[in-house]
């Protein structure tokens, strides 16, 4: 498979009406009890914890590449596999998986808009029990992560680079410094704020808003597809959805900061600004 077989975002009707394909792998990112209670037929379960490396105070770092190679191979993912990801809580977890695939240069992936909630709302069938993984050899990861990964040094450098924008996907209270979840509250100087939940309609089974609505929202924020964007939240969970949405909208230079506020807010050498303005 040499080209994108499905768009970055697919809806439940598109997934339901197509027969399963050998090169597809549908992955529920969540815990096994939730998966066993009811999941999209044929989908396997990946515990979200496997996608995060803990290095306190940073709580959501990208795992080392050797571990990722083993994990993806154990799931049955090869360079030709098209991964369709979903979860049951707004698709932040599913998006973290897709960002991880971008970090190792795997191009074939899609996000199911609305995830499990949308599938259930549309009365499509569920399957119970656990689906075994189909093991494959370790995935051939690159020697270093792709530019999809941003590190603390990249965020630091962006402060003096007007062509690089930091996009904070946390709540306005976290951004302003009123809700403190690290040693310090506030935000990266110059960072813009758009809470991740603004990407979807909570009253419509958390389905993503139409592309034209999303694009207008980001343009109103001052972002354009020619810019480089670095997304973050507390642990690059919520901001992973923002990352995927921007990729969906055609932003070619998007990066995810895995350390996010759990690293930045706890590092006294990293500058912090409080209040509602960048």
- Checking 186-189 for CB contacts under 8 A at 24+ apart, the result is 186/265, 186/272, 186/273, 186/274, 186/275, 187/272, 187/273, 187/274, 187/278, 188/155, 188/158, 188/159, 188/232, 188/264, 188/270, 188/271, 188/272, 188/273, 189/159, 189/271, 189/272, 189/273, 189/278
* CB-based contact 182:244 (threshold 8 Å): no
Residues with a known catalytic role: 233
């Amino acid at each position: 498979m040499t080209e994108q077989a499905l768009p970055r975002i697919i809806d439940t009707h598109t997934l339901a009406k197509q027969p399963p394909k050998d090169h597809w792998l549908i992955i529920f990112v969540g815990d096994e009890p939730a998966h066993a209670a009811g999941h999209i037929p044929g989908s396997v379960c990946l515990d979200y914890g496997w996608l995060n490396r803990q290095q306190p105070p940073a709580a959501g770092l990208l795992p080392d590449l050797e571990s990722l190679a083993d994990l993806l191979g154990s799931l049955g993912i090869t360079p030709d596999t098209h991964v369709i990801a979903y979860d049951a809580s707004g698709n932040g977890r599913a998006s973290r998986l897709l960002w991880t695939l971008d970090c190792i240069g795997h191009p074939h992936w899609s996000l199911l808009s609305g995830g499990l909630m949308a599938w259930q709302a549309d009365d499509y069938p569920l399957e119970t029990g656990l689906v075994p993984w189909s093991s494959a050899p370790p995935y051939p990861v690159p020697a270093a992560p792709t530019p999809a990964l941003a590190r603390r040094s990249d965020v630091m450098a962006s402060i003096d680079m007007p062509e690089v924008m930091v996009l904070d996907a946390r709540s306005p209270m976290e951004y302003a410094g009123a809700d403190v979840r690290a040693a310090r509250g506030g935000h990266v100087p110059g960072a813009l704020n758009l809470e991740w939940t603004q990407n979807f309609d909570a009253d419509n089974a958390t389905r993503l808003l139409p592309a034209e609505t999303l694009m207008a929202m980001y343009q109103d924020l001052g972002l354009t597809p020619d810019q480089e964007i670095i997304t973050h939240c507390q642990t690059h969970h919520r901001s992973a959805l923002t990352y995927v949405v921007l990729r969906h909208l055609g932003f070619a230079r998007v990066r995810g900061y895995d350390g996010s506020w759990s690293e930045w807010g706890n590092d006294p050498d990293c500058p912090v600004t409080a209040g509602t303005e960048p």
